[in-house]
Structure 1
């Protein structure tokens, strides 16, 4: 009954006590006037019953209690290595056999999540750059030396996998792309920004929103740094870039939303806009007067890049600003004005469904049901202890939801998401314990779709991310089914071939610096079935389709495994063909 209250909350909206009226153990929900109960039938089999408006006023038998057990227990603990791997595909950047075993030994998903959230934060990108001497490197001061390496090494090696997975998801919501950042020490600006996201991955949204707003990277990227108040004599007006994007992309979106993420409609059946251009203009006044903290050595050393921006009161607008139903009075001090604005945005009812749905899309599935979105948004609004914006509680809600864990979704053609290209590469590297020969992780920029992955971390081409959350491939069956497929915005004939060519090279140890460890795979290479089973669990989690398995096995058996070279080639083929298979490319 606890499970039903969570999954079917519109009908059973509150946690009610158990009541008894022979032969029923039941709960009554006053707000909906529905009953939910369990009773044994004549043969002693426990059955589930509903009564009230939900059943049309008749007592309805909805099935044996045992019929629900698999689905209920699926959200508690993995029943197999495959289901453990499926969860880890959603919750981490990649996993090994040891990670699967640790999850199964943890006492359930919730216990594993608690342990992951309690892990110390891994070595920061900033500290890694310093350890490699980039803080005194002229090419890091004026160029991008160390930038790509610093983020790749953390994504591939950091032990706090859940935190880094959440940081990656947040980086695609609060987007800063390095190509839109200017000035000295860009690698350190981006490192500080990633470290900020990682540090707040399980913290509070309101705190994160403020830190993002005052970060040097974001200040530079969306023109808040150095933004000045209006000047009637020169015609200068405050820059509106951050004011617009903090509403459109980082908090409330373009239209008012119901708790389940669906648009609210006006009397004409049209979506209701959340804000107007006038609100953008007025909110922009709040974001004036802020700039880099150049105390100390200014920008000649990278330290300024991780300090929050500071206020120059003389450059802050003293005009009143009205937006979203609140007014910042004229002559309000800059810090107080910023607090009013960010408090207003963080408290808006859109934030839970707007952010929640996109986190579901990044971690679990492109097309969550409205009920799934509503359950996550409800946790954003209140973590159960009266706290709003608890991101740790939100990620738990995303990953433990009945829809995320339901094994039946594995065969649902509308369920799942296309894996992002860079995530495929990171997962491969983690699954096969890749290491950098130089310690420098020289993977570089992998954005070229014709020769590489077509995506690279912290290199989003715009503030709108690598892909839009509502993207629909033109002329596709996805569109005909009224579904969205965000990651498909990166997919075309060129990028598909580029990804395959790039992965074929690295899988076969073709990269000059980053090499995998296939010792365990080579040990079973003589048995094509055993080899494929191992690779599938480490990469796909769930089973390949009959057609894909037969095709890959045919290719593996065609490679003689009677020599070390033959065994190695069989391993390379197994890994590469799974990475190329549609069963892998669509995460279920």
Structure 2
């Protein structure tokens, strides 16, 4: 079993969770061969959009059949909108049930914490749009980062989230100036960062020993002019009172239609088709920014300028080390060595080759994943580690033991998980994600000059609530709430108003973990081997220092196999060996 340790730890970086069979498979074929096979995976077009739409339509039809058409066309509220719950259901269902494209899904999830949008915004009203955006991340996970950044710039979810939809060129007479929100974040967060970087990720400095900013306010204003003239592809809505003014229902919507910009967003917008440009409102004047790295001659279309800008941002000398560091942070370690960053940045290159970068991240430095080399170590020899985010811990546990139910639909609503862990995919509090990249907790980590971003979520409250959640799961069977049926109460016609306590009573949807192998081992009295097996799956180590402590914790009821397994699962999932990922 010991020889499987490297494969287990490798899969913690390369997937959202692996069971014993997958660990064994990777050990047999070799991590490099498995990785090469995964990199050949082709993304299914509109995978998450289609699944989310399918789930939404099922609930919508149930709503109509239960309460009649008035439930949709009534005044003042529409309970049939594609609220955020439906994308969550589709995401969890695919994440926990699909065994193909595991690396692609892991990279898409990582990208979702870099190119951030969130349902903590108006986007909560359109989960189909959120799913369409996630499809971009999934599609481009092994592709070209410049192409991804271009598609992200045109996606209506980003256009609404960072407010460059309906962005108009300047008109000083009317006190109109281009919105600068997206212009700032596409540089600061999505491509080149705040400071100029060397190829190894360290900051460049001027002759006075000061960090050199990559851009200034002049650059932001110039970049904002690039993203002018963009509007929704179309406006559609099932109510007869769109915009609260019937005269606009079914008519063209544009920059000069008399409708306030604040109304031209969700839920009126077509949220799955890329935004289009009205060239009458696009700034076609020349633009120069980033010390001449970007030079736009003028008289170019909005599409031409955005294509040029996204390619130029990715080819900027700081982009490769900036994005390389972010990807390494997501997949492997919070504190990569300078050599590690440079190796990945070199593979990322000036075009943003994500396939090559991901391969380098997971196989660095010897392209020999079976090696015991600490290949993500800090320059000073500090062991490479990162605190797993709550979302990653959750997916790893549920995939490790094949979460399932009788209905075959793992449609998690997610609210219960988010309440206890403060994290859920695509649900960050802001565009800056769930935690700052330079966050470090006080104490030894700070004293060593290291960072530990995920610790920003690991507070006194969340650390206790996570432990409680594990206790609820393993000893109470209180697993995440799943919903496939509409609440039939006449006082609760709004589909998303789903009470977890009610949902957990539905036996068809009630979640279960497959502990059959583990329970049989407990029945046979193979307690040492059982602990080692479960430890291998969850921590990447077959023998832990806390092995004897775990064993002693169930001695008084060792004749109860289920209780033995539950106790081991609980002890392991709250242990530092599980919550901290090691390379």
TM-score normalised by structure 2 residue count: 0.80
Q: Distance in 2 between matches of 1:99 and 1:542?
A: 16
The answer on 1:290 being equivalent to 2:212 is: no
User: Does the 8 Å CA contact 2:93/2:412 hold for their aligned counterparts?
Assistant: no
- Residue aligning to 1:338: 306
Give the C-alpha shift of residue 142 in structure 1: 5.9
1:157-236 mapped onto 2 (5 Å cutoff)? 157-159=97-99, 160-182=101-123, 184=125, 186-236=126-176
Q: Report Cα offsets for 1:512-563 as digits up to 9, x if no partner.
A: 33221111110111322111111111111124542x22211111323222xx
1:572 counterpart = 2:566? yes
1:531 is aligned to 2:530: yes
CA displacement 1:230-264 (0-9 Å, x = unmatched)? 11111110000000000000000000000000000
1:429 paired with 2:398, answer yes
Name the CA distance, whole Å, in 2 between partners of 1:529 and 1:343: 55
CA distance in 2, matches of 1:283, 1:167: 27
SS at match of 1:482: coil
Q: Are the structure 2 counterparts of residues 136 and 292 from structure 1 closer, same or farther at C-alpha, using a change threshold of 3 Å?
A: farther
Question: Are 1:478 and 2:478 counterparts?
Answer: no
2:205 and 2:211 in contact (8 A); partners too: yes
Q: 2:281 aligns with which of 299, 311, 315?
A: 315
Cα distance in structure 2, aligned partners of 1:145 and 1:362: 25
CA distance in 2: counterparts of 1:190 and 1:152, whole angstroms: 14
The Cα offsets for residues 342-375 of structure 1, whole Å up to 9 and x where unpaired, read as: 1211110111110111111111111110000000
Q: Secondary structure at the match of 2:295?
A: strand
Deviation readout 1:298-343 (Å, 9 max, x if unpaired): 8999993221111111121233322111332333221222122112
Render the CA deviation track for 1:53-79: whole Å, top value 9, x for unaligned: xxxxxxxxxxxxxxxxxxxxxxxxx98
Any idea what the Cα deviations from partners look like across 1:471-509, whole Å, max 9, x if unmatched?
Answer: 111x21100000000110101110001111112222343
CA RMSD of aligned residues (A): 2.5
Q: Structure 1 pair 279/503, CA: closer, same or farther in 2 (3 Å)?
A: same
Residue 143 in structure 1 maps to residue 83 in structure 2: yes
- Whole-angstrom distance in 1 between the partners of 2:317 and 2:554: 54
Q: Do the aligned residues in 2 keep the contact of 1:282 with 1:323 (CA within 8 Å)? A: yes
- Superposition misfits of 4+ residues, deviation over 6 angstroms: 295-303
Query: For residues 458 and 516 of structure 1, what CA distance do their matches in structure 2 show?
Result: 25
* Paired position in structure 2 for 1:409: 374
User: Would you say the 8 A contact 1:446–1:454 is kept in 2?
Assistant: no
Q: Is the 8 A contact 1:243 1:283 kept in 2?
A: yes
Long gaps (5+) in structure 1: 1-77, 383-387
Q: Is the 8 A contact 1:454 1:499 kept in 2?
A: no
Q: Which residue of 1 aligns with 2:489?
A: none
Q: How many residues align?
A: 497
**Partner residue, 2:551:** 553
- Do structure 1's residue 491 and structure 2's residue 413 form an aligned pair? no
Q: Is the 8 A contact 2:56 2:86 kept in 1?
A: no
Taking a change above 3 Å as real, the CA distance of residues 277 and 403 of structure 1, as seen in their structure-2 partners, is farther
Deviates more, 1:285-294 or 1:394-403: 394-403
Q: Give the whole-Å Cα distance in 1 for the aligned partners of 2:118 and 2:87.
A: 12
Match of 1:14 in 2: none
CA–CA distance in structure 2, aligned partners of residues 448 and 403 of structure 1: 39
Change (3 A) 1:430 1:284: same
Distance 2:275 2:387 in 1: 37
For the residues of structure 2 that align with 1:397 and 1:98, how far apart are their CA atoms? Answer: 25
Structure 2 CA distance, aligned partners of 1:248 and 1:126?
Answer: 29
Offset from partner CA, 1:451-475 (integer Å, 9 cap, x none): 52221111011101111111111x2
Give the match for residue 350 of structure 1: 318
Q: Distance in 1 between matches of 2:268 and 2:521?
A: 49
Inter-CA distance 335–408: structure 2 relative to 1 (3 Å threshold): closer
Aligned to 2:43: 121
The question of 1:518 aligning with 2:481 is answered: no
Work out whether residues 442 and 514 of structure 1, in 8 Å CA contact, stay in contact via their aligned partners in 2: no
Alpha-carbon contact 2:388-2:454 (below 8 Å) kept: yes
Please report how far the alpha carbon of residue 575 of structure 1 lies from its aligned counterpart in structure 2 after TM superposition. 0.8
Between Structure 1 and Structure 2, which shows a larger proportion of strand residues?
1
Equivalent residue runs for 1:250-269 within 5 Å: 250-269=190-209
